[in-house]
């Protein structure tokens, strides 16, 4: 961001008000962002503004959680079927426990089976961390070709 971009952003954030139809949370967020940008502007000056990072298209696309189809593919590769209810999914992992996935955020957790209550055995975020966990616990991808 350059100097003019920051000034334009501050001016547009100052226009977010309750009188203009914004929600209270939006107004509070706009005020906080305005203060933060103004602080950066005064601390860095014109020359230091080049150091303010902007979100590239590649960064924005990698920040999205996996789709439900991605979870389906991973779990079917390991021989499991994802059951969905709204924005959540779950899978019985046999003796390991039950896998719960928040499909909108990509957060997952495995709850172990116990006679008294369930306990969280492991948790994480993203497909690759789940793949590593499942494989480290003895669940291997199915191979349809027999080794000779």
Does 75 share its domain with 132? yes
C-alpha span between 124 and 132 (Å, rounded)? 11
Find the domain containing 45 and state its range: 3-54
Inside any domain, residue 148: no
Q: What total number of domains does the chain contain?
A: 2
- Give the mean model confidence (pLDDT) for residues 137-147: 58
pLDDT at residue 59, as a whole number? 45
pLDDT at residue 145, as a whole number? 45
On the question of pLDDT at 147 being above 50, the answer is no
Phi, psi of 121 (to 5 degrees): -90, -40
Let me know: does 128 contact 122? Beta carbons within 8 Å: no
Does 50 share its domain with 77? no
pLDDT at residue 46, as a whole number? 56
Inside any domain, residue 41: yes
On the question of pLDDT at 35 being above 70, the answer is yes
Does 13 share its domain with 73? no
Does 49 share its domain with 77? no
Q: Would you tell me how many other CB atoms lie within 10 Å of the CB of residue 127?
A: 17
On the question of pLDDT at 144 being above 60, the answer is no
Let me know: does 123 contact 106? Beta carbons within 8 Å: no
Does 87 share its domain with 40? no
- Give the mean model confidence (pLDDT) for residues 87-101: 87
**What single-letter DSSP state applies at residue 126?**
S
pLDDT at residue 73, as a whole number? 86
């Amino acid at each position: 961001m350059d100097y003019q971009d920051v000034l334009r952003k501050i001016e547009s954030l100052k226009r977010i008000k309750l009188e203009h139809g914004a929600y209270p949370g939006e107004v509070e967020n706009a005020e906080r962002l305005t203060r933060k940008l103004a602080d950066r502007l005064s601390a860095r000056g014109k020359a230091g503004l080049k150091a303010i990072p902007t979100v590239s298209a590649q960064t924005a696309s990698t920040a999205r959680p996996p789709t439900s189809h991605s979870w389906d593919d991973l779990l079917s590769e390991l021989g499991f079927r994802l059951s969905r209810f709204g924005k959540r999914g779950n899978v019985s992992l046999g003796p390991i426990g039950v896998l719960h996935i928040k499909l909108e955020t990509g957060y997952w957790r495995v709850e172990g089976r116990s006679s008294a209550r369930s306990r969280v055995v492991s948790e994480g975020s993203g497909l690759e961390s789940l793949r590593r966990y499942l494989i480290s616990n003895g669940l291997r991808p199915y191979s349809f070709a027999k080794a000779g």
